[in-house]
């Protein structure tokens, strides 16, 4: 969601590559109508704000995500621990960008 001062509220639907698919004007709709629309479009609504979104809804309402087989990025804590253990640069580290 992005608030733009002075602009009429609209729902902009994007694909996985952030290309615009559709725009739906929301200014003439009530909150309950907008919630119903989002449900019809396949968006998941959490019961409570602190609830987790189930895995099967991470790319909803999009179908056949190009990213579904890629694991979510999680840095290895053991790698970080050894990397942060010493502030001295490693001798074998090569900087190809210099």
Q: What is the pLDDT of residue 93?
A: 55
Q: What is the pLDDT of residue 71?
A: 56
Give the count of alpha carbons within 13 A of 18, CB side only: 0
Q: What gap in Å lies between CA 44 and CA 20, rounded to an integer?
A: 20
Q: Name the pTM for this structure.
A: 0.56
Domains identified in the chain and CATH numbers: 10-57 (3.40.30.50)
1-5, 9-13, 18-22, 26-30: the lowest-pLDDT one: 1-5
Q: What is the pLDDT of residue 18?
A: 85
């Amino acid at each position: 969601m992005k608030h733009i001062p002075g602009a009429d509220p609209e729902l902009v639907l994007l694909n996985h590559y952030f290309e615009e698919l559709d725009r739906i004007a929301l200014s003439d709709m009530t909150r309950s109508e907008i919630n119903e629309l989002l449900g019809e479009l396949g968006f998941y609504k959490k019961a409570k704000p602190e609830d987790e979104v189930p895995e099967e809804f991470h790319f909803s309402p999009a179908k056949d995500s190009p990213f579904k087989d890629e694991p979510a990025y999680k840095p290895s804590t053991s790698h970080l621990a050894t990397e942060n253990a010493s502030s001295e640069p490693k001798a074998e580290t090569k900087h190809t960008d210099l």
